[in-house]
A = this chain, B = another copy of it.
Amino acid sequence: MNVRPLQDRVLVKALEQKETEKGGIIIPDTAKEKPMEGKIIAVGNGKLSENGKRLPLEVKKGNKVIFGKYAGTEIKVDGEELLLMREDDIQGIID
């Protein structure tokens, strides 16, 4: 069973935060707005511009990303908890 995000939306699997990972990315406790890490499961086709062209997304399936803690809507697909959000809620890609 599959969920295809619409327009400029993406489907994200939130990753558990390893509080003490060495050499990795750790969100400080004092962060003003706590960002989270996740993995892109699926991306939409992009918004339609006023000229009728799709504006493609910058993130790709498989990207590890950073997004705001309160971004998106939770859904459960085949028992797995996922998040549907707009690409603009994604702040960066982790390589």
Write the residues of chain A forming the contact surface with B, with a CB cutoff of 8 angstroms.
1-7, 9, 11, 22-28, 30-33, 35, 45, 48-53, 55-56, 58-59, 66, 68, 70, 73-79, 81, 84, 87-88, 90-95
Please tell me if the beta carbons of A23 and B79 are within 8 angstroms of each other in the complex.
Answer: yes
CB closest chain-B residue, reference A42: B92
Please tell me if the beta carbons of A92 and B4 are within 8 angstroms of each other in the complex.
Answer: yes
Please pick, from B33, B52, B93, the residue contacting A49 in the complex, using a CB distance under 8 A.
B52
Question: How distant is the Cα of A56 from the Cα of B50 in the complex, in angstroms?
Answer: 11
How distant is A60 from chain B, measured CB to nearest CB, in Å? 12
Question: How distant is the Cα of A9 from the Cα of B65 in the complex, in angstroms?
Answer: 14
Please tell me if the beta carbons of B51 and A4 are within 8 angstroms of each other in the complex.
Answer: no
For A33, what are the chain B residues with a Cβ–Cβ distance below 8 Å? 73
